[in-house]
Amino acid sequence: MTSSLDPIRLPQSAASIDTEIDRAALALLLVEIARNVDPEHHARFDDVPASDHRMETLRQLLVGREISELSRVTHLLGEAEQFADAVGGVLPSATARAPHVQLGEALAPAVERAVQRSIQKSPGTLTDILYPVFLPAIRKSIGEKIDQTFQSLNETLRHIFTWHGLKWRFESWRTGASFSEVVLKHSLVYRVEHVFLINRKSGLLIAHVTADNATSEDPQLISSMLSAIQDFVKDSFHEKEQSGLDTIRFGELRLWSEVGPFATLVAVIRGNPPEELHEIVRDVLLRIHDEYALALEQFDGDNSQLVGIETRLQTCVDMKQEDSQQGFPWLVVAAVLLVSIPAAVWLFLSWQSGQRWQAYVSRLEAQAGIIVAEQKVYGGQFYISGLRDPLATDPQSLLSGTQVDPAQVHSQWQFYQSLEPEFVLKRLTASLAPPESVLLSIVQGRLVAEGEAPANWINRARAAAEQLSADGVVLDVSQLRELNLAELNYLREAIQATDIFFYSGKAVPGPEQTPVLDRLADQIKEFAQKARKSGATARFMLTGHADATGRETANVSISASRAETVRALLNKRGVAPELLVVRGAGTFEPVVPENSRTGSSTNRRVSITISLE
Amino acid sequence: MQKKICMLGGFSVGKTSLVRRFVQSIFSDTYLTTVGVKIDKKSVALPNRTVDLILWDLAGEDDIGSFRVSNVRGATGLVLVADGTRAATLAVALTLRERVEAEFGAMPFVLLFNKSDLRDRWAISDREIDEFRQLGWQIYLTSALSGEHVDDAFHQLASMVTA
């Protein structure tokens, strides 16, 4: 080792940060340091400082770059602003590269808190963000609810008055369910025949489940074609909405589709499904997305990753509401008929007899002089009570022709006097017995008596008029004239002055009496007629007489015989026999006194006296 | 395993007749004119599995503007069809592919020059076809009439989309 020392050249610019270590400078420095570690050499330089600046140089040479980097990084970490800038620069790409699951888990709490804070701070912001997402869903949900209500209303109205309706109303009452629920349960007969789960992007079939006995063409082709049709509608009408075709209906067949983020579920339903089925299908789709999210997203036509998905779809296919085909209930129908036919007949007959009864009551009410106070039908019997004028039509007689059984009618009538003019008229006619020459009539609600009558009858009529006025009934007697009896009196005298004479011992008058008889018959007939006109009945008393000769008993007998003979002769001349009364006076009423031996032709006669009734 | 495949090509290149004899179909050709798309299925047996190619036959139109690109969403492969007797249809097929790739990114495809039975009216040069082959493209000269190479093309595409 030599003591001569080369001046040490300190490497000033040798250790460039960007280049490799300056090997020449390092070599020189190491040689220099090596020399100095020689103990002898060290002994000669007592004043060698404890800290050797070359060490620092050496450090610079060896790790200068790292020191510089470290200082930069330290500085970066110390300055919050710069550090934030640096992290901000790499954060997007770092997030993109991070494994999604782990990143999601790490960020979830922070994101949750952030969202929570945001809502607390300004709920409007989140509402604005979610508005376009929620609005279609809300709209769809409301639409379905309205459809459901209409469907329910429609079905309820359709069945409300049917036989089924009655049956279902009973079921609703029995089970406690609402009537519309029961109606929907029975009327919505449907069956989910196929369910397709279709990849939304490629239209490839993910899974297909079919109901028993349901057939279809190749499900893979159908799946793609359904997808193509969705695209076709969307493109044709420039529909931007992310949902798909909701419903396709073809006769009895309906295709309902529910669109999820990665897959569309299409249910093929035969019949009339309830709107709630939409929700069930949507639930199944949601569950499938929850369970198989990753496999669905990465689906590339290989469904080996989606084992078990068909079990989920099967729940859709199992849904059906079948019409209860228990056969026609003949027994029930027969039983119902057995009960209902007699009931209907009974009802009809009751109704008919009720109608007949009412017709009878109406007929009674229309009758003058009858007032119906109460009527009822009870236990197949008819009860009626009221007032009736004795002169009114007999209620019982009105039953004829009404087909109401008189035996079933129980009536109770109180008599009263009706002041209706026609009844007053009837009563007057009965009590006054007006002569034929008097006419009693009703003129504008008043009773009027007009014509000729005997004075005493007119007096009676006036008395009746006064009595009636107290009841407010007017009987006008001003038009009554007194009957002219002069002519009658003349006739009466003429008749009473006539005698029919007989020969002694004879009961038949002689031929000379024939003209007398003829005249007498005419006079009697005329008198009877005139008397009848005046309201009186004339009676003609034929009294037979005998002379005083012979025995008294024989005289009585012959006098009666003479009266009888004249009666017969008058009868023969047209005089009504009931007007003629006969009696035999014997010798007790002689016209002239006589000698009982010779007798008197004047006393052998029949005399006539008139009485008016 | 199933894959969505779109068949693209200009008007009257024979896409529909190309698949008619070789695929399983339940929909009539009228779907093409009504809905604009017809779905067919071709099952291809690969050594380790069977792949169901769900073929979306899109209505062929030379007017590229009216092409409904949304129908291609989710497809994993394309069958480009050109008419070997009309050179212009090749351009249409390639443009359609560009549109699809611009929208959904690159995807495996096979290019079919159809009507290979009409050799006398053939309008595509072998050189051109070789150039495509050198790009690594799978090219098939097919005939809907004879069925030549049709199965090969579907087989090839099936292995490409399941690779």
Secondary structure, 3-state, A464-493: HHHHHHHCCCCEEEEEEEECCCHHHHHHHH
Exposed, middle or buried: residue A236 (CB in 10 Å: 0-12, 13-18, 19+)?
exposed
Q: What is the pLDDT of residue A46?
A: 58
Q: Per the domain annotation, does A388 fall within a domain?
A: yes
First to last CA, chain A: 207
B137 Cα to chain A: minimum distance (Å)? 23
Same domain, A258 and A286: yes
Report how many domains make up chain A. 5
The token duo for A217 is 């063409």
First to last CA, chain B: 12
Residues of chain B with pLDDT under 70: 26, 28-30, 32-34, 60-66
Kindly report the backbone phi and psi dihedral angles of residue A570, in degrees, each rounded to the nearest multiple of 5, phi listed first: -70, -40
The continuous run of DSSP H or E covering A582 comes out as strand A580-584
A235 Cα to chain B: minimum distance (Å)? 8
Q: Per the domain annotation, does A292 fall within a domain?
A: yes
Q: Per the domain annotation, does A161 fall within a domain?
A: no
Q: What is the per-residue burial (b if ≥16 Cβ within 10 Å, else e) of A1-27?
A: eeeeeeeeeebeebbeeeeebbeebbe
Instruction: Please say if the pLDDT value at position A1 is more than 60.
Output: no
Same domain, A308 and A274: yes
Q: Per the domain annotation, does B71 fall within a domain?
A: yes
Q: Per the domain annotation, does B158 fall within a domain?
A: no
Q: Give the pairing of strands B2-9 and B50-58.
A: parallel
Q: Per the domain annotation, does B76 fall within a domain?
A: yes
Q: Per the domain annotation, does B162 fall within a domain?
A: no
Q: Inform me whether the C-beta atom of residue B25 falls under 8 Å from chain A C-beta atoms.
A: yes
Give contacts of B25 with chain A, Cβ < 8 Å.
221
Same domain, A569 and A523: yes
> Last residue of a domain, which of A458, A482, A506?
A482
Same domain, A31 and A91: yes
**Angle at Cα A144 formed by Cα A256 and Cα A282, nearest 5°?**
50
Same domain, A224 and A345: no
Instruction: Please say if the pLDDT value at position A323 is more than 70.
Output: no
Query: How far is Cα A543 from Cα A561, in angstroms, rounded to an integer?
Result: 10
Share the mean pLDDT of chain B: 85
Q: What are the tens digits of pLDDT across the range A467-516? A: 888 888 888 888 888 776 777 788 888 899 999 999 888 889 989 999 99
Considering only CB atoms, A235 lies closest to which of B4, B70, B74, namely B70
Q: Under 8 Å CB-to-CB from B105, ≥6 apart: which residues?
A: none
Q: Inform me whether the C-beta atom of residue B49 falls under 8 Å from chain A C-beta atoms.
A: no
Q: Per the domain annotation, does A329 fall within a domain?
A: no
Instruction: Taking residues A354-372, report their average pLDDT.
Output: 88
Kindly report the backbone phi and psi dihedral angles of residue B76, in degrees, each rounded to the nearest multiple of 5, phi listed first: -110, -5
Q: Per the domain annotation, does B157 fall within a domain?
A: no
> Which of A197, A201, A204 best probes binding to B when mutated, by most B CB atoms within 10 angstroms?
A204
Q: Inform me whether the C-beta atom of residue A109 falls under 8 Å from chain B C-beta atoms.
A: no
Give contacts of B2 with chain A, Cβ < 8 Å.
204-205, 220, 301
> Which of A196, A197, A202, A242 best probes binding to B when mutated, by most B CB atoms within 10 angstroms?
A202
Same domain, A301 and A384: no
Instruction: Please say if the pLDDT value at position A13 is more than 50.
Output: no
Query: What are the start-end ranges of the H helices in A298-435?
Result: 309-317, 330-366, 395-398, 421-432
Instruction: Taking residues A336-343, report their average pLDDT.
Output: 88
Q: Which residues constitute the domain of residue A54? A: 1-97
Contacts 24+ apart (CB under 8 A), A7-16: A8/A32, A8/A54, A10/A54, A10/A57, A11/A57, A11/A61, A14/A61, A15/A60, A15/A61, A15/A64, A15/A65
Query: How far is Cα A63 from Cα B76, in angstroms, rounded to an integer?
Result: 55
CB contact under 8 A, B41 and A225: no
Exposed, middle or buried: residue B55 (CB in 10 Å: 0-12, 13-18, 19+)?
buried
**Angle at Cα A159 formed by Cα A156 and Cα A165, nearest 5°?**
105
Same domain, A539 and A605: yes
Contact in structure between A539 and A581 (CB atoms under 8 Å): yes
Instruction: Please say if the pLDDT value at position A49 is more than 80.
Output: no
Query: How far is Cα B81 from Cα B142, in angstroms, rounded to an integer?
Result: 9
CB contact under 8 A, A202 and B73: yes
Q: Per the domain annotation, does A124 fall within a domain?
A: no
Same domain, A490 and A534: yes
Report how many domains make up chain B. 1
CB contact under 8 A, B39 and A224: yes
Query: How far is Cα A145 from Cα A199, in angstroms, rounded to an integer?
Result: 28
Same domain, A405 and A455: no
DSSP annotation of A14 reads -
Query: How far is Cα A350 from Cα A358, in angstroms, rounded to an integer?
Result: 12
CB contact under 8 A, B39 and A302: no
CATH number, domain with residue A433: 3.30.1340
Q: Per the domain annotation, does B19 fall within a domain?
A: yes
Q: Inform me whether the C-beta atom of residue B2 falls under 8 Å from chain A C-beta atoms.
A: yes
B27 Cα to chain A: minimum distance (Å)? 9
Distances (CA, A) of A406 to A354, A397, B161: 14, 10, 104
Query: How far is Cα A457 from Cα A454, in angstroms, rounded to an integer?
Result: 5
Q: What are the tens digits of pLDDT across the range A427-471? A: 888 888 887 778 888 888 888 888 887 777 888 888 888 888 888
Report if pTM > 0.80: no
DSSP annotation of B131 reads H
Q: What are the tens digits of pLDDT across the range A153-188? A: 777 777 777 777 788 788 888 888 777 777 766 766
Kindly report the backbone phi and psi dihedral angles of residue B40, in degrees, each rounded to the nearest multiple of 5, phi listed first: -130, 170
Q: Which residues constitute the domain of residue B18? A: 2-84+91-124+137-150
Q: Inform me whether the C-beta atom of residue A239 falls under 8 Å from chain B C-beta atoms.
A: no
Q: Per the domain annotation, does A5 fall within a domain?
A: yes
Exposed, middle or buried: residue A175 (CB in 10 Å: 0-12, 13-18, 19+)?
exposed
Considering only CB atoms, A221 lies closest to which of B41, B75, B76, namely B41
CATH number, domain with residue B6: 3.40.50.300
Q: Per the domain annotation, does B114 fall within a domain?
A: yes
CATH number, domain with residue A349: 3.30.300
Query: What are the start-end ranges of the H helices in A176-253?
Result: 179-187, 219-236
User: Which residue from B minimizes the CA distance to A221?
Assistant: B39
Q: Per the domain annotation, does A453 fall within a domain?
A: yes
User: Which residue from A minimizes the CA distance to B5?
Assistant: A202
Same domain, A395 and A289: no
CA atoms within 13 A on the CB side of A310: 12
Q: Per the domain annotation, does A369 fall within a domain?
A: yes
Q: Per the domain annotation, does B7 fall within a domain?
A: yes
Same domain, A250 and A350: no
Same domain, A193 and A317: yes
CB contact under 8 A, A301 and B76: yes
CA torsion sign, A272 to A278 to A281 to A285? positive
CB contact under 8 A, B4 and A205: no
Contact in structure between A439 and A469 (CB atoms under 8 Å): no
